[in-house]
Structure 1
Amino acid sequence: MSKCDRTPLSFREILDLPVSVDLRTAARAYGMSMGTAYRLVGLGTFPCETVRVGHRHRVLTVHLMHALGIEERPLFADDIADGVALTLFD
């Protein structure tokens, strides 16, 4: 991803995120620039909790999803076709 890439993450991309993400990825999920993200973190008003790890900020994906109003992972037809959903019902 280039430094100028401000394309917001799609719903599917958000659902496929790892357990935690960097501030750049979290900012993309909200459709904001890195400058805005750092300013909000500095003010303590970023839309979800951030964790400082050394000189970097991390965001737990569960907090990111909750702040975006995503409470649970939906089931997609291709998940069922891939057999992913079968483990949910066993």
Structure 2
Amino acid sequence: MTSDERAMTHDELINLPVTVDLETANRALGLGRTTGYSLARGGRYPVRLLPANRGYRISRYDLLRHLGVGPDGCGVEAEVA
């Protein structure tokens, strides 16, 4: 297993830049390259995609929120409807 294939640690997630590429988001979400790109092309990616020059970017905020990690590194409480 290469370093790109292993799951991200909590510290790695918290220290992500403001936006990340699809490869990085796939790794954070535990998705393989093929699955991640297929979901993105099909409009079914689990977080909002930001169109970029020749691909996509994903905001750290959306990624951490989807994973249940707050901006302070703690868990996010479920929103009350």
Instruction: Tell me which interval the TM-score lies in, with the shorter structure as reference length.
Output: 0.7 to 0.9
Cα distance between partner residues in 2 of 1:74 and 1:54: 30
Q: Which residue of 2 aligns with 1:38?
A: 37
RMSD, matched Cα: 1.8
Task: State the Cα distance separating 1:74 from its structure 2 match.
Answer: 3.3
Aligned length: 73
Q: Which has the higher contact order (CA 8 A, sep 6+)?
A: 2
Cα distance between partner residues in 1 of 2:37 and 2:22: 8
Residue segments in structure 1 that go unaligned for 5+ positions in a row: 76-90
Cα distance between partner residues in 1 of 2:73 and 2:20: 20
TM-score (norm 1): 0.73
Bigger Rg over Cα: 1
Q: Is the 8 A contact 2:14 2:71 kept in 1?
A: no
TM-score (norm 2): 0.80
Q: Which residue of 1 aligns with 2:79?
A: none
Q: Which residue of 1 aligns with 2:11?
A: 12
Q: Which residue of 2 aligns with 1:21?
A: 20
Cα distance between partner residues in 1 of 2:40 and 2:10: 23
Q: Is the 8 A contact 2:16 2:60 kept in 1?
A: yes
Q: Which residue of 2 aligns with 1:69?
A: 68
Q: Which residue of 2 aligns with 1:56?
A: 55
Task: State the Cα distance separating 1:73 from its structure 2 match.
Answer: 1.4
Query: After superposition, what is the alpha-carbon deviation per residue over 1:55-77, rounded to whole angstroms, capped at 9, x for unaligned?
Result: 121000000001111123138xx
Kindly, what percent of the aligned residue pairs are identical? 30
Tell me the amino acid that sits aligned with residue 45 of structure 1.
R
